[in-house]
């Protein structure tokens, strides 16, 4: 007879599989194994954790928890300014692209985005998956976490390519503002979902669907910017980068 503990353990195992096996598959079949070793991925993942630590220090210093009853406007403004700390990810990804990897820019940006996705999947979700194995009841929220972690990987891949493109001299004057705005909007991602949850009552699968839509839109912007960059780059310039 299967006990409740065994059921939640298998539930946690399913969540871990859904969240992390696609990362292994992506690394193996994306082609970066020919250019990027696991050690380099782990090194870039270390940059991710250092960046998150710096973000926590900034948030703890500048935005302490508000005690007492505060208006929704004050709490919303606080969430807005707290979300701006995500701009530090731009610096972190740029450092990973520049110093953690070598080779063509496309490979370096893909590897940096992948490493950021790995670090995010571990840092944000692993503790939750371990915790669910100790509970006594199944909850679909953890399945949503596992699915969301897959969205995040592709979101960070697009983000890393935008960071790389922002430093390219071959980017057209029409495309560069699009790239810069997309990078600025990255910092407002957490604030955007805060608004959806607290003002539009997006919850559970509805919120997850909105995250899928945002990821798809962000990938589309990154692909458009990359195609524009390649169409405006000379063969010599493309070869150097």
Burial of 55-78, coded b for 16+ CB within 10 Å and e otherwise, reads beeeeeeeeeeeeeeeeeeeeeee
CA 24 to CA 168: how far, in whole Å?
Answer: 30
Cα dihedral value 113, 118, 124, 129, nearest 10: 150
| Model pLDDT, residue 67 | 52
Q: Please provide residue 188's backbone torsions phi and psi, each rounded to the nearest 5 degrees.
A: -100, 10
- Write out residues in the chain with pLDDT < 70, as ranges: 1-6, 64-73, 133-138, 233-241
Domain count, the chain: 1
| Model pLDDT, residue 65 | 61
**pLDDT (tens digit, 9 = 90+) per residue, 201-212?**
788 888 889 999
Q: CA 93 from chain center: how many Å?
A: 11
Joined together, the tokens standing for residue 225 give 């910017």
What is the residue range of 171's domain? 4-240
């Amino acid at each position: 007879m299967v006990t409740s503990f065994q059921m939640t353990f298998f539930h946690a195992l399913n969540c871990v599989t859904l969240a992390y096996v696609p990362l292994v598959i992506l690394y193996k079949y994306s082609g970066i194994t020919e250019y990027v070793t696991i050690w380099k991925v782990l090194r870039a993942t270390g940059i991710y954790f250092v960046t998150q630590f710096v973000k926590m220090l900034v948030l703890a210093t500048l935005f302490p928890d508000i005690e007492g009853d505060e208006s929704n406007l004050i709490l919303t403004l606080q969430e807005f300014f707290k979300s701006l700390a995500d701009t530090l990810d731009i610096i972190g990804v740029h450092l990973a692209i520049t110093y953690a990897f070598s080779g063509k820019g496309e490979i370096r940006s893909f590897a940096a985005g992948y490493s950021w996705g790995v670090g995010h999947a571990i840092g944000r979700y692993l503790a939750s998956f371990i915790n669910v194995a100790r509970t006594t009841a199944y909850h679909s929220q953890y399945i949503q976490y596992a699915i969301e972690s897959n969205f995040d990987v592709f979101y960070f891949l697009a983000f890393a390519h935008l960071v790389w493109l922002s430093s390219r001299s071959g980017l057209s004057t029409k495309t560069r503002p699009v790239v810069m705005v997309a990078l600025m909007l990255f910092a407002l991602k957490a604030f955007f979902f805060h608004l959806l949850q607290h003002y539009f009552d997006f919850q559970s699968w509805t919120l997850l669907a909105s995250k899928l839509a945002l990821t798809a839109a962000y990938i589309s912007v990154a692909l458009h910017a990359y195609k524009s960059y390649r169409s405006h780059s000379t063969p010599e310039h493309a070869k150097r980068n």
